[in-house]
Structure 1
Amino acid sequence: MTRKDDYYNRAKQEGYRSRAAYKLKQLHEETGIVQPGDTVVDLGAAPGGWLQVATELVGDSGSVLGVDLQRIDDIDGVETIRGDMTDEDTRAEVVERVGKADVVLSDMAPNMTGEYSVDHARSVYLARQAFETALEVLEGGGDLAVKVFEGPDTGRLRTDMEAEFEYVRAIHPEASRDSSSELFLVAKNHLTAPVRTGDELAVTIEDVGSEGDGIAKVEGFTLFVPGTETGEEVQVTVVDVKPRFGFAERVD
């Protein structure tokens, strides 16, 4: 039995709407992307295999919203929007409906032309739609997983995602078909900080923490600056940014 047949048959036996359900299961096993109680947005959700898995993972205390141009048959506990994510009205409806989310998932793929450069470019475009939507709806510390076909534009997309998340991993789920060039970029811990690694700025040290590092505030965001004292005004370079705090080094 081929791997393709194995996942197809497992989906039928276990009640999943598509073999793609196992891709999300494997992404979750590697990254823990969906947790109990999460609010999840699934883009390109039809026929609903990922929605089924996401619902299992979030449990009764979580919520799941699925979006697709195709109709999605009802799933208990899941809300759906029928619309095209390349359309601004659909994205606006997603933002309005969900408010803030913990996870954005995208298994969106273009209609295949058979010309690889075209299909790759279109897949990157769809992945960017998901990425931009995630920037609008994700809470600080939220996660994103997007499908893309490998090619020359994948690296730029990953770089752009790395600027907005603590880190990004590229994963090839075992459940992907052998002939597929698809990979998933999983971005963890959305950064909502007003600073990014490499920024240089002037700060005032407002306090000293228990570890002896100076504490500065930038628009309410905490920066730890070693080797400083309360009341100092110093020029610093940001060296690491976490979802809720960062680290900087003095340069003066």
Structure 2
Amino acid sequence: MTRKDHYYNKAKQEGYRSRAAYKLKQLDDLENVISGGDTVVDLGAAPGGWLEVAAERVGPQGRVIGVDLQRIKDLEMPGGTDRIETIRGDMTEDRTRDRVTDAAAGSVDVVVSDMAPNMSGEYSLDQARSLHLARQAFETALDLLDSGGNFLVKVFDGPDVDALRADLEGEFQYVRATAPDASRESSSELYFIAKGRLTGPVREGDELEVEIVDVGSEGDGIASIEGYRLFVPESEKGDVVEVRVDDVKPNFGFAERIDRD
């Protein structure tokens, strides 16, 4: 049995709307993108296979919001569907984004996108359109995600994909590219898993002058930049030092002193 037939039949047997459900299962098993209680936004959600998996993973305390230009038929889930909401609209329009924000109560933990263009049969054109959709999803994720949030997006491999990865790495703590087993054998689709949305005012490599306002339990000095904590070894409270940021986390970072180089 081919891989295509295997996952198609498996989806039918297990009651999922599409074989794509197993892509999200495998990607989430690989990197723990979705946690119980999360609020997840699924872009390009029709026909609903990813919505079904996301709803299972977030559990009864979570929430899943599916967005698509196409109508998504009502889902039936064990335990009910109160945690699932579908929105018909275009995420590039402010009106749709406002509806998603309202549905999420202003807090989104994960954005996922399995969007693909209508296929023309000309790979270079289809790949360029796929990249455009991935970048639209990326921009949407930056607008919606809380600090520390996760993003998962599909793109067809080809030109400028490395540039997309570089941009993701500038906005997330960790980025991985992979292709799940459930993808068709002939497919060139690639999934970027980006974890730990960075919203702080500094980035790795930044050089700046800071004042040490406190000392942490490990003895490192702590500077505060717009409320963001930056740990600086070999410094004391009251010091004003020049530093280079060498590691950035969603809620704090680490820097080394360069005024002693």
1:46–1:129 distance in 2 versus 1, CA, 3 Å: same
Q: 2:235 aligns with which of 202, 205, 228?
A: 228
Within 2, Cα distance between the matches of 1:67 and 1:195? 32
Q: Which residue of structure 1 lines up, in the alignment, with residue 139 of structure 2? A: 132
Within 2, Cα distance between the matches of 1:163 and 1:251? 23
Within 2, Cα distance between the matches of 1:41 and 1:3? 28
Task: Kindly provide the amino acid, as one letter, of the partner of residue 45 in structure 2.
Answer: A
For residue 235 of structure 1, give the secondary structure of its aligned residue in structure 2: strand
Q: Which residue of structure 2 lines up, in the alignment, with residue 91 of structure 1? A: 97
Within 2, Cα distance between the matches of 1:95 and 1:65? 10
Q: 1:171 aligns with which of 175, 178, 184?
A: 178
Within 1, Cα distance between the matches of 2:63 and 2:101? 15
Within 1, Cα distance between the matches of 2:95 and 2:123? 30
Task: Kindly provide the amino acid, as one letter, of the partner of residue 80 in structure 1.
Answer: T
Q: 1:202 aligns with which of 186, 206, 209?
A: 209
In the TM superposition, residue 171 of structure 1 has moved relative to its aligned partner by: 1.1
In the TM superposition, residue 157 of structure 1 has moved relative to its aligned partner by: 0.6
Contact 1:86/1:126, CA 8 A, preserved across alignment:
no
Q: How does 1:185-196 map to 2 (within 5 A)?
A: 185-196=192-203
In the TM superposition, residue 205 of structure 1 has moved relative to its aligned partner by: 0.4
Q: Which residue of structure 2 lines up, in the alignment, with residue 145 of structure 1? A: 152
TM-score, normalization by structure 1: 0.97
Q: 2:162 aligns with which of 134, 155, 176?
A: 155
Aligned residues: 252
Q: Which residue of structure 1 lines up, in the alignment, with residue 115 of structure 2? A: 108
For residue 230 of structure 2, give the secondary structure of its aligned residue in structure 1: strand
Within 1, Cα distance between the matches of 2:94 and 2:118? 20
Within 2, Cα distance between the matches of 1:137 and 1:10? 33
Within 2, Cα distance between the matches of 1:87 and 1:176? 30
Unaligned runs of 5+ in 2: 76-80
Contact 1:95/1:136, CA 8 A, preserved across alignment:
no
Single out whichever of 204-213 and 161-170 deviates more from structure 2. 204-213
Quote the RMSD (CA, aligned, Å).
1.0
Task: Kindly provide the amino acid, as one letter, of the partner of residue 17 in structure 2.
Answer: R
Within 1, Cα distance between the matches of 2:26 and 2:244? 38
Within 2, Cα distance between the matches of 1:85 and 1:108? 12
